[in-house]
Structure 1
Amino acid sequence: MLQDSTFWVLVAFVLFFAGIFYLKVPGKVLGQLDERAARIKKDLDEAEKLHQDAQHLFAEYQRKQRNALKEAEEIVAAAEAEAKALFKETEADLKISLERRRKQAEDKIAQAEKQAVQEVRDTAVEIAVAAAGAVLSQSLQGPAAAAQIDRAIGDVKAKLH
């Protein structure tokens, strides 16, 4: 039996396993596997927490983006309303200004017309007085005629003015 190789393989096999159990290799291997499993679980838990944080931040940024878009729309709407109000105000001011200038132009035209009529009357009076003086001076002669002419010129001036 000592010469049988199967016997020695069995002895070596038993001694090998006895040494393994004596040195507590299975416990150490299991301990290392447990440690590795615990590290992997810890890493997975941390990854899950980071994933949840990322989802939370993403949702918050989406909410902020929606709020920013809403605020931008409100700003644009307010600017449009202000522009419309400014346009209406400017249009009203322009109408008032144009009406005032039209009135000023009409007043100037009326004043110029009045002045022109007055100048025509004054010129007509001067011409009538000169013509009356010429007619009377030709038809009347002497000192009585001069008094009569002066009186008639005075009457014409008084009636025409």
Structure 2
Amino acid sequence: MTVNRRNLLLGGTAIAAVAAFAGLRPTGTLQAAEGDFPFQLTDEQWRARLDPAAYDVLRHEATERPFSSPLDSEKRAGTFVCAGCAQPLFTSDTKFDSGTGWPSFYTFIDGALGTTVDTSLFMTRTEVHCSNCGGHQGHVFEDGPQPTGLRYCINGVALNFIAA
């Protein structure tokens, strides 16, 4: 390929687009779930407490790969708790198979979650976080089953399961 004005402009535009898209990914510590939470640790303490994948999701709003969490297929009776602070978030009787590759629930335990507006990735979504530590859990969508019609799409690494 020869370097001409057209190829130079196309290449520059592509680099600018990639840079702009990369800039849309949330960075920093809990950009969406800012505020005072009952359970707080320093960033160094969070790093020591969590494995790297859970740290990225809970503290930097990353997303785990779909179908990578064993909790997606967890079917036993019990409670799903925040991997950051162990606050109970969901009960097993509200879990369903959404086919998305992430653990999904149609409701949560009262008071366990907070929400914020997430405008990253060229769309507006509702982000859900633990009300105790502010840890990012995932998002809620309006395409779930009855009785709520909601789908809480949660990162498995943001949860731990406690069997009944």
TM-score by length of structure 2 reads: 0.24
More relative contact order in 1 or in 2 (CA 8 Å, sep 6+)? 2
- Between structure 1 and structure 2, the one with the greater Rg is 1
Q: 1 or 2, which has the higher helix percentage? A: 1
